[in-house]
Structure 1
Amino acid sequence: MFELAIIWDWIAFAVRWLHVVTAMAWIGASFYFIALDLGLRPSSDRRKGVSGEEWQVHGGGFYFVQKYNIAPPRMPDDVIWFKWESYTTWLSGAALLMIVYWMGGELFLLDPTKADIALWQGILISGGSLTIGWIIYDFLCKSKLGETPTLLMLLLFVMLVVMSWGYNQIFTGRAALLHLGAFTATIMTANVFFIIMPNQRIVVKDLKEGRTPDAKYGRIAKLRSTHNNYLTLPVIFLMLSNHYPLAFGTDFAWIIASLVFLTGVTIRHYFNTLHKTGKGPNWTWAVTVILFIIIAWLSTASTGETYEEAEARDLTPYEQQFASAEGFEDAYDTIVGNCSMCHAREPSWDGLRWAPKGVFLETESDVARHADQVLLHAGLSRAMPPPNAIDMDDEARDTIVAWVRAAKDN
């Protein structure tokens, strides 16, 4: 059981690496094609059906790109389809969600101070909620609102704010922001799978069968692709938010997440306008800075659970498993003595105002709750505590390993 926990963590590492690599490929392709499309100039040879073209230089070579307004006169022999970047990003992200937030739900998913629900209920909410956004969003896009893209984006923003608030009523702050990112990424990938790719297949089929493709399919796909472009930056932030406790570990995390979506829109609007006209609207940077200042202020306008409240709270079954294991008292004294000066609700380490990653290691429930993390960072490795802070000896680390091993082998 103990060794399985280590193997499981390496599996999570491998899936995370796959997720990061494919996400980079998807985001890079998305940004490139939006910039390319906006930067196209009228075709120099006025070839029939060519709506724009552009010369580019990269890596020591020159490239000449042309875009057909609808489709070329005939189907080319070789066409590159950009779809697997999106699919693999979502599939690997879903797998990572299950590994980290479902298998480790007692620690990372559920917050007993917010909602007293069973793990299976949390997992059901986690998985089921991801589909809600796509169903509502797709319905709005296919309605008359699809003809007013700006209003459609505003309604999408309202939906994201509601989901941000809802997630924060149930999950840990870290899980809430991550799920909001997964919620948005599901909409983006569903756009590719259910709309963009099927529309492109219709155009390809028409070409192969000698028919003139309908331009509406390209317009629909372009709308969804543009939405994806504006949603990309907020999703990246939300996926990385677990590194920033000031973003997820505050009373106003749901508002912070909502404002992050606005900063993503202002930044993308600047670059999209720059690619189209050669000059970006500078006011977007002023708005972005103001939003960032508001986010920073909200991150500190928070009280959170006090030490006394944490001390008085009953241990969950997951925490009880580790708190009742052989060697807990010695491990607890070791961890508090070596870690709590930083990992406290009011850190005593000079210059440190918030616990790193929002992890507290003060009370018995704190230590029991974060047993796996302590094992990986201070038991099996020397990642923590920082060597220039405290020289934690091997005996202390062995105490942690023995305790967690006893708890898992029970």
Structure 2
Amino acid sequence: MSDVARHDAVSPVLDRLNEIHPRLEALYKDLHAHPELSFAETRTAGVVAGELEKLGFEVTTKVGRTGVVGVLANGEGPRVLLRADFDALPVKEQTGLDYASQVSGTDPDGRQVPVMHACGHDMHVACLIGALDLLAGSREAWSGTVVAVFQPAEEVGSGAQAMVDDGLFDKAGTPDVVLGQHVAPIPTGMIGCHPGPALAATDALHVRMFGRGAHGSRPEAAIDPVVMAASTVMRLQTVVSREIAGGDTAVVTVGALNAGTKDNVIPDEAELKLNIRTYTPEVRATVLNAITRIVKAEAEAAGAERAPEITPIDTFPVLVNDPQAVERTTTALRAHFGEHAVVDRGPATGSEDCGVLATASGAPLCYWYFGGTDPAAFEKAEKNGTMGRDIPSNHSPSFAPLINPTLDIGVTAMTLAALTWLNPR
């Protein structure tokens, strides 16, 4: 199809965006104000299911516990899977927005924690609902089947697999392509997509190190797990700098260190929570082996009478974008948004489990980022060297995408991507 013909086919589909925008913005604000933790997204799932039913989709709920799937068959053609995640994070919101979250939830350890959409999954849902609305309202422009997957528990890396294990493809059919997107702290209007390994694998570990408690005035009677843990944290910083080749990439972060309750009591144990990012099986094995070796060695060096415990928490596979799928999809995005608006920003060390849907189905994957930051604020921070301070990133308590024009751009990008794979009429 020529560029002119494709534009003629796409334009009517997008014509209704201004009409549906107010409803989508209200939906986004509602979701933002009512976030839910991984595998607890019951209200969100109900809202999504209701929206899909209004659009005429065949709806299946409770797929992978709380996931929602909508199928819209519209004649012969490809089966295109469009995915959005919808879980939130245990973060206390500090945006000051009038629709900011005030809710709390129960985490997997049974603790009451504040909950916030600090990663933009509420934006993903609103954008996908918008794209589905446009597609459902213009069935004369395309043929094929749209499969909308609203996935739980992306933040813990197990929601996509849970949906696959629960028979997602038996219920919705095997897709010919998987398309997904994520809002990011880059300027609105910008889209980033990288072919090949685009997002890192993640391994999250819980480490318990055991000592012997005593009075703070008598450290000679103790085996101090605080010192043991502190030495481990410092030694772990050498894994990337001294055991990983300069041309390879790895990240080792100790995100939590907890021990003791009082200044004059040496506790019995300390716990660490680690996060590891890698791109290849070889580097991943090197990092995990080094962590295990260091944790055990530091415990032994401290005279620990009990070996440390290392338990996996979460794991994400590497997300690999199919080069041909990226080329096909980004060509359409560039034709609409402009040549300079769609860029290859290289691989990122963030992680995503959307790739599981592609790997499990054998379909090619195209996954991209779209900007949610005020371009003027971004340019100023970049010029002043204050990006880390002034531009909140995903998972920050201050993260909140600029609704306009981010919402419309996300709806448009997902709609264009879908139409690129569906058959034109």
Q: What TM-score does the superposition give when structure 2 sets the normalisation length? A: 0.26
Q: Indicate the structure with greater strand content.
A: 2
Whose radius of gyration is greater, 1 or 2?
1
Q: What TM-score does the superposition give when structure 1 sets the normalisation length? A: 0.27
Higher relative contact order (CA 8 A, sep 6+): 2
